[in-house]
Amino acid sequence: MAKIATLGQRALVEAVGVFFLVFIGAGAVVASQFAGLGGASLLVIAFANGIALALAVTFSMNISGGHINPAVTIARWVNGAIRAKEAAVYIIFQLIGAVVAGILLLAVYPAASGIAVNYGVPALGSGISVIQGIAFEAIMTFILVFTIMGTAIDKRAPRVAGFGIGLAVFIDVLAGGPFTGAAMNPARWFGPALASGFFANWYVYLIGPIVGAIVAAVIYKRLILK
């Protein structure tokens, strides 16, 4: 009989998963700047974020449920799948994992390349308003969480581990990366932002992902799982 993980073990796995995503996702932004990839950087960043999340979800799914995102945890709490205390602990540890990743980004990446892109902090593109940014983040997170519901939560779904979820992030970054940085995850924004001190338009990366995640989770549960 498989041993059920404690809340501490589940929270720790969430922290490690977020660390994977933030360090690799934001690191790819800095690495692309360092390598001078130009237009090719979008594809590199999309792959890095998608693969990092796919791995994080895969190794954490059977332990913590593979949230790896405070917006996902909030949406699962709204749907009644996780208790408030558990959700709070998950979010705290997710943010800790993000902060550790942000600190290490500053420690190991060349300062000139890191500072040029604010160490991978998602940011609004030129001409993108706050409202557009929130809408972009909400839509992209909706796509991500709807995919999570359909591949990891729905018991009828094929067991594709984190592959489908990683693909959702991959296409979201391709479509929205130039406009908002395609965070889809408050922790993905928070870790590099705290480490670098770049907090511009911070509310975009809280409001958009949380709203998009809740809408996706509620629609799937109420209209598709019922």
Q: Is residue 60 part of a domain?
A: yes
E strand spans, the chain: none
- Of the ranges 99-103, 154-158, 215-219, which one carries the lowest mean pLDDT score? 154-158
Instruction: Please tell me the predicted confidence (pLDDT) of residue 39.
Output: 80
Q: Is residue 1 part of a domain?
A: no
Indicate the number of domains in the chain: 1
* Tokens representing residue 135 in the block: 């809408």
Instruction: Please tell me the predicted confidence (pLDDT) of residue 2.
Output: 62
- The rounded distance, in Å, linking the Cα atoms of 180 and 11 is 28
Q: Is residue 126 part of a domain?
A: yes
Q: Is residue 128 part of a domain?
A: yes
- The rounded distance, in Å, linking the Cα atoms of 72 and 155 is 18
Q: Is residue 2 part of a domain?
A: no
pTM over 0.85: yes
pLDDT at 201 over 60: yes
pLDDT band at 4 (very low <50, low <70, confident <90, very high): confident
- The rounded distance, in Å, linking the Cα atoms of 33 and 217 is 36
Residues 6+ apart with CB under 8 A from 89: 7, 11
Q: Is residue 114 part of a domain?
A: yes
Domain span including residue 117: 7-224
Check which CATH number belongs to the domain holding 191 and give it. 1.20.1080.10
Tokens 């700047």, residue? Answer: 33
Q: Is residue 177 part of a domain?
A: yes
Quickly list DSSP for 179-193.
HH----SHHHHHHHH
Q: Is residue 101 part of a domain?
A: yes
Q: Convert the pLDDT of each residue in 82-117 to its tens digit.
A: 999 999 999 999 999 999 999 999 999 999 999 999
